[in-house]
A and B are shown apart, each in its own frame.
Chain A
Amino acid sequence: MTVMWKWLRWLFGYSVLEIRGAYGEKFITLCMKEEIDLWEIRRICPGIIRVKVFLFAVKQLEPLARKSGVVLEFVENQGLSVTLKRYRHRYGLFLGMGLYLVSLFFLSQVVWSVEIPGANPIQAKQIQSVLLREGFGVGSLIPSVDYKNLRYQLMLDLDNISFVSVNMKGCRAVVEVRFSEEAPESVDDGTPCNIVASRDGQIVSVLVQTGARYVQKGQTVQKGDLLIGGIMDTRLGYYVVHAKGQILARVTDIQTETVPLIQRVTERTGKYTVKRIWNFFGKELDASPWFFCPYEEFETVTEVKYLSFGEDAKIPVFLTETYYYETVSHEVEISAEEAKSIAVSRLDEADRLRFYGTEIESIRETVTETPEGVVLTRERSIIVDICEDKTFYFED
């Protein structure tokens, strides 16, 4: 309350004045009767009382002062009107204030960012492309957004969406999307089929769920050999089934990686040039329109610098700087050990995903030096399911 009163007093403006004379109390009483607000009434010395009064009430005080036989002396005026009057010739200040208010209004009317929680990067990109096609993105005017149409277009254009809503939270657009879950792939149990070996190997275990077993543990098979048959022979005759089962086999996996001893190395010379592009609310402004890259060989590094006030307040104004570094390439000879370590790291990187969850029995590595370079051969003995469905056709 007090703070609000202070602001109100400052807004309307007030005057500090001194009541000089022996009848200060009479003057104050008259002010009370006339409903003139006085505050911070303080006797500063005998015969002088200092008070504060609203500027708009000052004119009413003169007759009351005459009536009560006191003299009023104005000390100073305070408040917004006084401050504005003081700076009335400082046009730059008013221009700055005006620009500030205009930019504040403008910034509150445009979309600063579009967030799509719950969507993976690919889905988010698809949603963004639909939104952009409909003219909605960073820099769009918030009052002109047709939320109903956006929802409709997103539902229409994207598959597997069960719910979508576009909401504005301040200047951030939040697109809430829920994807419908895909139905599990139906297992085809009706089509008659055999199970054959998908690769060469030695059978480690056999588990038959449906069908006639054709192999046993310890047996070696070649790719395409029949493992579980879909034709059942009974005393009553033949009938066909969709063969099912799991047959694990020990198979050998061989991979080779060749690393040449002569390697081509690219190095930066230290020279570079920069291309800058400003982006204001989705509109690009090329800051270096006559940019030309003078280098024959170069590599690029792009940096995006956002204009932000802390982590959460990121204004959609950013500068994209693309650095073009001049490079030179030359050949260097590496040792066999270095070539081997490169080959090992390359194979490890490739194997990480390839053999994820696979049981590896043993690994054997052989390194061969050839005129082309070092050849690393990695031979693995792994246990895998070698079942492969093979449909067959029959006539009743």
Chain B
Amino acid sequence: MKQNSPLRTEIPPIEFMGNSQVLVGLCDGILEYEPETVKLRAGKRLIRINGRCLDLCNLSEKTVMIRGVISSVEFEG
């Protein structure tokens, strides 16, 4: 499968380190940010990360790193 195929690019890479850190790639924007929830847009999908004391500790082009106590991840769309 080619790396730039539509199927591949639609899926945002999400990388967890335990439940204390999550790295979300291909992120197009922050829709909502509260200490208990972070809602991101990644292509056509919406990703909601729930937890406690959530911080956006690093924000660079298309990549968001979230730290805190992560309890769940939800996909919408």
Contacts and interface: CB of A to CB of B under 8 A. Distances in A.
Interface of A: 24-25, 28-29, 31-33, 35, 37-43, 49
Contact of B33 (A35, A37, A49): A49
B62 to A, nearest CB: 7
Q: Is the interface of A mostly helix, strand, loop or mixed?
A: mixed
B56 interface: yes
B33 A39 contact: no
Contacts of B58: 39
Nearest to A37: B60
Contacts of A40: 55, 57
B43 interface: no
B57 A29 contact: no
Q: Is the interface of B mostly helix, strand, loop or mixed?
A: strand
Contacts of A41: 33, 55-57, 59
Given A32-B27, A32-B62, A25 B57 contact: no
B33 A24 contact: yes
B29 A32 contact: yes
20 contacts: A25-B29, A25-B31, A25-B33, A28-B29, A28-B56, A29-B28, A29-B30, A32-B59, A32-B60, A37-B60, A38-B59, A39-B57, A40-B57, A41-B55, A41-B56, A41-B59, A42-B56, A43-B33, A43-B34, A49-B33
A367 to B, nearest CB: 91
Contacts of A39: 57-59
B38 to A, nearest CB: 9
B55 A42 contact: yes
A165 to B, nearest CB: 52
Nearest to B55: A42
A81 B31 CA distance: 35
Give the contact-size bracket for chain B: 10 to 19
B13 interface: no
B63 to A, nearest CB: 9
Interface in B34-59: 34-35, 55-59
Contacts of A28: 29-30, 33, 56, 59
A37 B32 contact: no
B57 to A, nearest CB: 6
Contacts of B28: 29
A328 B58 CA distance: 82
Contacts of B30: 25, 28-29, 32
B61 interface: yes
Report, nearest first, the 10 A-B pairs whose CB atoms are least far apart: A29-B29, A41-B56, A38-B59, A25-B30, A28-B30, A42-B55, A35-B61, A39-B58, A25-B33, A29-B30
Contacts of B57: 39-41
Contacts of B59: 28, 31-32, 37-39, 41
Contacts of A25: 29-33
B52 to A, nearest CB: 12
Contacts of B27: 32
A110 to B, nearest CB: 46
Nearest to B32: A25
B22 to A, nearest CB: 14
Contacts of A31: 59
A33 B27 CA distance: 10
B16 to A, nearest CB: 18
A87 to B, nearest CB: 30
A29 to B, nearest CB: 3
- Which of B32, B59, B61 has the most chain A CB within a 10 Å cutoff? B59
A145 to B, nearest CB: 49
Nearest to A25: B30
Interface string B1-24: 000000000000000000000000
Contacts of B61: 32, 35
A6 to B, nearest CB: 12
